[in-house]
Amino acid sequence: MEFADRVAQITPSETVAIIDKVREMEAAGTDVTNFTTGTQAEPRDFVTPEHISEASQAALDDGQTHLAPSKGLPELREALAAKLRDENDVPVESDQVLVTPGTKYALFESVLSFVDPGDEVVVLDPSWVSYNKMVDIADGTVERVSLDDEFLLRNADLDEAVGDSTRLVVLNTPLNATGGVFTREGLERLRDLAVEHDFWVLSDEIYEKLIYEGEHHAIASFDGMAERTITVSGFSKAYSMLGWRIGYLAAPQAFVDEVAKVHSNSVTAVPTFLQHGAIEAVTGPQDHVAEKRAELARRRDIMVERLADAGLDFPKPHSGMYMFIPVDTEDDVQFCKDILDDKQLAFTPGSAFGTPGYVRATWVLPDDELRAGLDAFVDYVA
Ligand SMILES: Cc1ncc(COP(=O)(O)O)c(C=O)c1O
């Protein structure tokens, strides 16, 4: 039996595959220190703030189990548009916002709606594991471009890599894999190229509220970019709502009208009572976000200090939940297999992000587990 080529050619998400393997080991009674995913640790210490869950619970109790409008509840779309205008200077109206099942699906339906077979899509490595696969599923052509020495956009070799055949560049700042935060200068370079070569940017800003040093710049707020940017984000990270699967996209109206067709023919709508929780997340108290940010920065410091003390050289993460640690081998996939088998330490290989020679590690672990795991890692690589 033959199935679709577009699926045969892709692999499952590397991060999800590693989580599954760790779960299997744990089910078999092996304790694993899981450095692979920050949000996996959520049930252990970051739960969705009560006022958000209560808003969804109240909606359920009120019988809000009917179908929401496909693009999302008007109150939520209005709240998100106001957030984008007020916090990010992105000029959007609520009609330009579409509520999606997770940021991931916002990315996916954007790629499906934008990319024709053969269209060239640039991803900036290290890039989040699913971008290139989404482009593959859409039968687009992935052009991988490395970020600069500091894993930033500023000095990346962009001029060579993009041109009139570029249709779309996938941008992620703050950057998942390294915790980098792109500077205005770097983003302006990208803007200039986008305008010159008339391509669009798909901007994944999910870590926007988890910046420890630096400032977030939404590229859609830059002159000339509102009409060529699809901004996507969601609730998983700042609001600890990973399992809720809720996110959104905001884009020029004509594009939203196209995506809406994919959306209504695939997801129909995001569950109504979940959207009530999301409204509370955007419009309710935000102090828990600051608390989460401070707590994550504290644990980031534990990790960074321990690795620096051991003499390791790495790009210091300024945001999010992850950092890149160089390993002394290009075969980082084998390294991750070996360290998992030998020391029960789970990491994601840098090559899953298009950047071999590194492992990606989170600091979202309880303190004692984090410290013990780091000691074991340092011991292993020493
Ligand atoms: C860079 C990036 N984009 C998107 C996502 C997916 O977010 P969501 O859980 O809202 O689908 C993640 C989650 O791991 C991520 O790290």
- pLDDT tens for 189-210 read 999 999 999 999 999 999 999 9
Average pLDDT over residues 342-361: 94
Distance separating alpha carbons of residues 146 and 118, to the nearest angstrom: 21
Per-residue model confidence as pLDDT tens digits over 13-28: 777 777 788 888 989 9
Give domain limits for the chain: 5-47+287-381, 50-283
Q: Token digits for 302?
A: 């534990």
Assess whether pLDDT exceeds 90 at residue 6: no
Distance CA 71, CA 262 (A): 11
Report the pLDDT value the prediction gives residue 20, as an integer from 0 to 100: 80
Question: What local confidence, expressed as pLDDT, does residue 8 receive?
Answer: 84
Q: pLDDT tens digits for 104-163? A: 999 999 999 999 999 999 999 999 999 999 999 999 999 999 999 889 888 888 988 999
5-47+287-381 matches 50-283 in fold? no
pLDDT tens digits along 56-84: 999 999 999 999 999 999 999 999 999 99
Asked if residue 277 has pLDDT above 70, the reply is yes
Mutate to test the pocket of ligand 1, among 131, 237, 323 (most ligand atoms within 8 A of CB): 237
Query: Which architecture characterizes domain 5-47+287-381 according to CATH?
Result: Alpha-Beta Complex (3.90)
Ligand 1 close to Cβ of residue 288 (< 6 A)? no
CATH architecture of 50-283: 3-Layer(aba) Sandwich (3.40)
Could you tell me if the CB of 49 is within 6 A of ligand 1? Answer: no
Confidence of residue 289 (pLDDT cuts 50, 70, 90): very high
